[in-house]
Amino acid sequence: MKANYKNWVPKGMILAFFGVALLLFILAAAAGCLVPTGILRALLLILLITGGLIFFGLGIWSLMMYRAFDYNGTRQMARQIIEGTASYVKLPEGGSCLDIGCGSGALGIAVAKRNPGARVIGIDRWGREYASFSKALCEGNAEAEGVSNICFRKGDALHLDFPDESFDAVTSNYVYHNIPSHDRQAILLETLRTLKKGGSFAIHDIFSVSKYGDMKAFLQRLRDMGYQRAELIDTTQGMFMEKGEAGWMALSGSAILTGVK
C-alpha cells in the first residue's frame, strides 16, 4: 500500500477549464456559420474566441501547476515543501503538535515520522472545494507510511476547539490564504494561541501584503508579546522554488513563518 497525498490542483478544475474553452470555440465556429455578417457576428466572435483563449490558457496553467506539485512527478514541489516545513519542528518526547488544514495528511504525517515519541493531531474542514481530501484518506496515508502517532479530526482554523497553550508545536501548509478573511493575521494569532510557552511553530503560506498586510509589523507584534523568536523565511529564492517559478505559479510571497513562543 502506497500513500496517496493527492494534488491540491483538482483534476476537475483542469478539465473544466479545457471544457469551457472547447465549448466557446465550438460556439464561435457556430456563430461564424449561422450569424449573418455584420457587427453582431464580429462582436460574438471576438467575445467567444477571446473567452476560449483565456480558458485554454487557464487550462494550460493549471496543468503545469498540477505537474509541478505532483508527488510522483519529476518536480515534486509538494514533497519538498512538506519535508522542508516539517524539518522546522522538533518535538520533545511525549510532546504534541497540531497541524491545521491537514488536507491529505502530508505535513502532519511528515512531522509524526520525524518525531516518533510525540503525538500529532491533524484537523481540517474537508470542504467541497477539495472533495478528494478526507479524514479516511488521511488515515489511509498514515497507515501506508507506518505512522501510528497521529490522528485526524474535523476542525475550524478560525475557532480552534483547543484550550490555550495545548501544543508543543503548530504547523500548517498553504491553508490560510484560502480562507476568506479581511484579517488573516487574526487567524495566525488564533493558531498561536494554542501553542505552549517555549513551543515552536512552522506555518508555510503566501504571506503577500495583499493577503496578510504588513507581516514585518506582525513579527514585531509577536516579539512585543514575548515570543522568543519570530521570523519569516522566504521560500521563493531557491529553498522550495525559484523566484521566476513562484511568479508564474502565482505563489510570490511564499514563506515559512517560524519561531518559538
Give the integer Cα–Cα distance in Å for 18 and 9. 14
Q: What pLDDT score does 72 carry?
A: 87
Strand partners, 151: 121
Q: What pLDDT score does 35 carry?
A: 87
Q: What pLDDT score does 74 carry?
A: 93
Nearest to 229 by CA among 88, 84, 93: 88
Q: What pLDDT score does 131 carry?
A: 80
Q: What pLDDT score does 130 carry?
A: 79
Instruction: Please check whether residue 257 is in contact with residue 205, taking contact to mean a CB–CB distance below 8 angstroms.
Output: yes
Q: What pLDDT score does 26 carry?
A: 97
Grid cell listed for 14: 483542469
Q: What pLDDT score does 132 carry?
A: 86
Locus of grid cell 473567452: 51
Q: Which residues of the chain have pLDDT under 50?
A: none
What ranges make up the beta strands (E) of the chain?
A: 96-100, 119-124, 150-154, 167-173, 195-206, 229-234, 254-260
